[in-house]
Structure 1
Amino acid sequence: ARTVRDTAMLMRSMAGHDPKDTTSVELPVPNYEAALGRSVKGMRIGIPKEYRLDGMPGEIETLWQQGIAWLKDAGAEMVDVSLPHTKYALPAYYIVAPAEASSNLARYDGVRYGLRKDGRDIIAMYERTRAEGFGAEVRRRVMIGTYVLSAGYYDAYYIRAQKVRTLIKRDFEECFARGIDAMLTPATPSAAFGIGEKGSDPVEMYLNDIFTVTVNMAGLPGIAVPAGLDAQGLPLGLQLIGKPFDEETLFALGQRIEDAAGHYTPERWW
């Protein structure tokens, strides 16, 4: 999606109950586009102190402060909040997510459905199908997930990560219970990678998820809004985190940020 409005339109077209999906919730789908013009005056926006990281580029902090100013100008109130278990989110996420990937992708074995590559026997067929059907990062996550779900490590890794997940969810619930309507954070701890600059070290890549994995762990809606460029002309973004099923508030706030930031392109653009 190129704009917040595009995102609202796509969300409305995709949202809805699927009776064949046990993870789908049967709730009416709001008119997300109508929320774009909603006033944000009086909304209480949480600013989590744990999202200020040592070594974070100054331009990220500057953009964050600019986002705070934009929402203040729109009539929102800023409130400092604490999410104390944020520091455990990244390692916990990269246990839970690969475990879920390993479990869900086990069905793609070339027998039941999906891609199938022939081999000299059934084992070779499995190996070729899964090797050629998944990219390097997917294979890495499947292997990690299979490891943490194995008998010797299930309690040591997966169960502990799920307990951390519960604590992270509780942190957000306590903030929302105190009247916070949404939270504003940077989307990433650095600018977007330039073309051809994507790191080969997977850990380096995972660290860029540090501000977004808490949203997934807590089961909350979130939106990242492009809001500026760094010194090299690479995109920077701000993230809004909302209450469960309250995407409308995020669209209203996101539209205010997009309007204030304006539309821009780097000097070098093709």
Structure 2
Amino acid sequence: MKDLVFLTYSEIKKKLNENSLTSFDLVTAYLERIQSVDSKVKAFLNLNADKILNQAKESDERRKSGKILSEFDGIPIGIKDNICIRGEITSCSSKILENFESPYDATVVSKLKEKGFILFPRLNMDEFAMGSSTENSAFQTSKNPFDTERIPGGSSGGSAAAVAASMLPISLGSDTGGSIRQPASLCGIWGLKPTYGRVSRYGLVAYASSLDQIGPFSNDMEGINDLLEILAGLDTKDQTTAKVTNFEAKSVSDLEWKGKKIGVMKTDEFNFSPDVNTRYLEILKDLESKGATLVPLDFSLLKYAIPVYYLIATAECSSNLSRFDGIRYGLRKESTGKLDDLYSESRSAGFGKEVKRRILLGTFSLSSGYYDAYYGKAQKARVLIRKQYADFFKSVDVILQPTSPTTAFKVGEKTKDPIQMYQADILTTSVNLAGVPAISCPAGLDQNGLPIGIQLTTSHFDETKLLGFASALSKLDLCKISLPKEIK
């Protein structure tokens, strides 16, 4: 039964619907896998095994009685710790919300429950989704299943590591500046950031509201396709969701590379590691041999993406996190009886170092005398970046570039240099600033056995084309990858 955990999402779905596999057996196998390897990976913050097994039993009963909720009934899925589940702790991996029990379900959670998915909360993350390595969690540092001395990426590191370590077939994360795509790349799995407004953010604890987007991780492409169809759609509880044609998983098919125009970047303009650079060029050569036309694009504005992103994101974080004040919910520290002291002591004790840094940066950029010089200019630059992407897609079908400039770095390697850590997101932040969809696809391993990821990007709400290209990319021999069965 232990081999069940190494099935792909599509194999699990098929076996459940053929009645050749029960949800109880599947969930039991995953719980045993978690018990065996999560002490090394540290993807989960806690796990209520009895509650999860009861969900699996209920799913099997529905199948026996012919009352299944959907073809997905009984499939396990992991949930990042900033997505609300009624009756569950939603801490955002922060001390300030360590004991906060959510009174409601996020819209995406409601949709998963309606389909009969078995929820596995809570997956570790960088505190309030602020980080690129999951080292900023207040509780533990998640590890990369390919090498547990290295980081899994962030902020959705727990969600990515759980899938890469075969503790789950699929999971949900959130992406503000690359927090799905970057850990997907470093952990050798698929991770999608949908178009901003495609998926409801209701019930996602906000970091930067104009950038955040919920998206899926999967150990195969079918999991990405199915989850996007389930999660996407207009939501009256989130006014930023867009009224567009619903995405349908069945509309995705492999696209032919012949005759397609692929936007590419000049590798000498960015500090890619040699292995990442080599694999990127090999893939481009392979696609060119299949009839694709490579179109060099001017990514000169990309060098401004990091400062623009961090000005806008920290400003929004400063505003969003002001609600955590020790008054309404969360940690409360009372010592002097004075209101100002209650605020400062609760927030000082509850927030971690990186969260405090970003709150201070955001408060500064929004302060009188500095707003126009910093935040105002950043918003103008964001418009230019968005326009640049619109111009790109007038001449190309898809943009293909590395997801991360390097493979996974070692735990502690960049924690003393925040700027170096921020640079890890240089290839992903511009996508969030523009609001376009992007997916990270596995692209083989480097010479140290660490995963390399390739990012595909298309225009707004063009996920059908995006996932068609991603599926075609996954068929290339250069992009084949096997997830580790043994975690060392």
Which residue identity lines up with residue 330 of structure 2 in the other structure?
Answer: L
Where do residues 53-132 of structure 1 align in structure 2 (5 Å cutoff)? 53-72=269-288, 75-112=291-328, 114-120=329-335, 121=337, 122-132=339-349
1:264 paired to 2:482: yes
| Alpha-carbon contact 2:442-2:481 (below 8 Å) kept | no
What TM-score results when the alignment is normalised by the length of structure 2? Answer: 0.51
- Residue 144 of structure 1 pairs with residue 361 of structure 2: yes
The answer to whether structure 1 residue 206 and structure 2 residue 206 are counterparts is no
1:255 CA displacement: 1.4
Q: How far 1:244 sits from its partner (Å)? A: 0.4
Please identify, of 215-224 and 194-203, the stretch whose mean Cα deviation from structure 2 is larger.
194-203
TM (norm. structure 1) is 0.88
% of aligned pairs identical? 37
When residues 188 and 203 of structure 1 are mapped into structure 2, their CA distance, relative to the original with a 3 A threshold, is same
2-side partners of 1:65 and 1:96: how far apart?
Answer: 33
The letter of the residue matching 1:26 is K
- Structure 2 residue 226 is the aligned partner of structure 1 residue 226: no
Unaligned runs of 5+ in 1: none
Kept after mapping to 2: 8 A contact 1:233/1:267: no
| Counterpart-to-counterpart distance in 2, 1:191 and 1:59 | 8
- Counterpart mapping for 1:36-55 below 5 A: 36-49=253-266, 52-55=268-271
Per the alignment, do residues 124 and 40 of structure 1 end up closer, same or farther by CA in structure 2, a change over 3 Å counting?
A: farther
Question: Structure 1 268/70 Cα, relative in aligned 2: closer, same or farther at 3 Å?
Answer: farther
Is the CA contact 2:442–2:480 (under 8 Å) kept in the aligned structure 1? Answer: no
Paired AA for residue 58 in structure 1: P
Aligned counterpart, 2:387: 170
Change (3 A) 1:216 1:235: same
The change in CA–CA distance for 1:231 and 1:198 in structure 2 (over 3 A counts) is farther
Distance in 1 between the 2:442 and 2:324 partners? 36
- Shift of the alpha carbon at 1:134? 3.2
8 Å Cα contact 1:229/1:236 also seen in 2: yes
State the Cα distance separating 1:70 from its structure 2 match. 4.2
More displaced, 119-128 or 145-154?
Answer: 119-128
- Structure 2: which 5+ runs fail to align? 1-216
Question: Secondary structure at the residue paired with 2:236?
Answer: coil
- CA distance in 1 between counterparts of 2:435 and 2:383 reads 10
SS at match of 1:203: helix
**CA shift for structure 1 position 145:** 0.7
CA distance in structure 2 between the partners assigned to 1:141 and 1:131 by the alignment: 13
Paired residues for 1:234-253 under 5 Å: 234-253=450-469
Matches of 2:296 and 2:351 in 1, distance apart?
Answer: 43
Distance 1:74 1:103, change over 3 A: farther
> What is the CA–CA distance in structure 1 between the aligned matches of 2:461 and 2:410, rounded to whole Å?
34
Structure of greater relative contact order (alpha carbons < 8 Å, 6+ residues apart): 1
Cα root mean square deviation, aligned:
2.3
1:55 deviates by 4.0
Give the match's secondary structure for 1:25. Answer: coil
Size of the alignment, in residue pairs? 267
Give the 3-state SS of the residue equivalent to 1:85 in structure 2.
Answer: helix
